[in-house]
């Protein structure tokens, strides 16, 4: 009789502690790999926009001039493609799901002023260097031209 086979299991269940937990009173421990939400260490971001182009949902946006990175948490499907694509590895997928909310909010991360200033300085330096290099090149070209003109005259 199969009912006899199931009866011990059913009786056992009466005395086992519940399989379910009383979340959120008893917090859930997520495994390390759990794909909860995206976090960014914003000061490492170079505003390249690779994550924006990778995201299948179009939840991300980057503003290089303002130094911001923003995400619509509600639209994110926690796929982790942006994390994979980021060249600076400044995005991470961390455990812990988003709390549900009544409306869509865009979360904006802003780079610190020091980093912005440093970046600005770097950009200026790079621009100057490029200018100098261009000037040097032009000079070299002019010299070569002059030389070239001299040669056939001989």
Partner 1 sequence: MGKRSVIPYGPQHPVLPEPVHIDLVVEDERVVEAIPSIGFIHRGLESLVDRRDFNQMTYVAERTCGICSFQHGMGYCEAVEHIMGVEVPDRAKFLRTLWAETSRMHSHLLWLGLLADGFGFENLFYQCWRVREKVLDIQEMTAGGRLIFSVNKVGGVLKDVTDDQLKFILATMDEVEAELKVIKETFFEDYSVKSRLVGVGVLTAEQINALGAVGPFARASGVNVDMRKLGYAAYPHIDFEPITSNDGDCYARCYVRMMEVFQSIDIIRQVIAKMPAEKDLAVAVKGNPDGEYFMRVEQPRGEAFYYVKGNGTPNLERMRIRTPTFANIPGLCEMLKNTELADIGLLILTIDPCISCTER
Q: Looking at the chain, how many residues does it have?
A: 154
Given a contact cutoff of 8 angstroms between Cβ atoms, the answer to whether 104 and 72 are in contact is yes
- Whole-angstrom Cα distance, residue 121 to residue 151? 44
User: What element of type H or E holds 92?
Assistant: strand 91-94
Our finding on whether 11 is near partner 1 (CB under 8 A) is no
DSSP 26-60: S-----TT---EEEE-GGG-----HHHHH-TT--E
Query: With respect to partner 1, which residue has the nearer C-beta, 12 or 104?
Result: 12
Stretch that binds partner 1, among 42-50, 52-60, 99-107, 142-150 (CB under 8 A): 52-60
Residues facing 109 on adjacent strands: 69
Query: With respect to ligand SF4, which residue has the nearer C-beta, 21 or 92?
Result: 92
String of contacts with ligand SF4 for each residue 57-76, x by CB under 6 A: x-xx-x------x-x----x
Our finding on whether 9 is near partner 1 (CB under 8 A) is yes
String of contacts with partner 1 for each residue 66-95, x by CB under 8 A: -----------xxxxx--x--------x--
Our finding on whether 97 is near partner 1 (CB under 8 A) is no
- Whole-angstrom Cα distance, residue 68 to residue 89? 17
Our finding on whether 79 is near ligand SF4 (CB under 6 A) is yes
Our finding on whether 116 is near ligand SF4 (CB under 6 A) is no
- Whole-angstrom Cα distance, residue 111 to residue 65? 11
By CB under 8 A, name the binding residues for partner 1.
2-3, 5-6, 9-10, 13, 19, 30-31, 33-35, 54-56, 77-81, 84, 93
């Amino acid at each position: 009789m199969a009912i006899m086979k199931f009866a011990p299991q059913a009786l056992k269940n009466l005395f086992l502690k519940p399989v379910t937990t009383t979340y959120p009173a008893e917090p859930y421990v997520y495994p390390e790999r759990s794909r909860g939400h995206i976090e960014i260490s914003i000061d490492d971001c170079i505003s390249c926009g690779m994550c924006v182009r990778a995201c299948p949902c179009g939840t991300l946006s980057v503003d290089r001039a303002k130094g911001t990175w923003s995400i619509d948490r509600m639209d994110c499907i926690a796929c982790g493609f942006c994390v994979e694509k980021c060249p600076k590895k400044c995005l991470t997928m961390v455990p812990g799901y988003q709390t549900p909310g009544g409306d869509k909010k865009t979360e904006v991360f802003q780079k610190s002023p020091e980093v912005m200033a440093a970046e600005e300085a770097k950009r200026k330096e790079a621009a100057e260097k490029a200018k100098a290099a261009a000037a040097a090149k032009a000079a070299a070209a002019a010299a070569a031209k002059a030389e070239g003109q001299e040669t056939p005259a001989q």
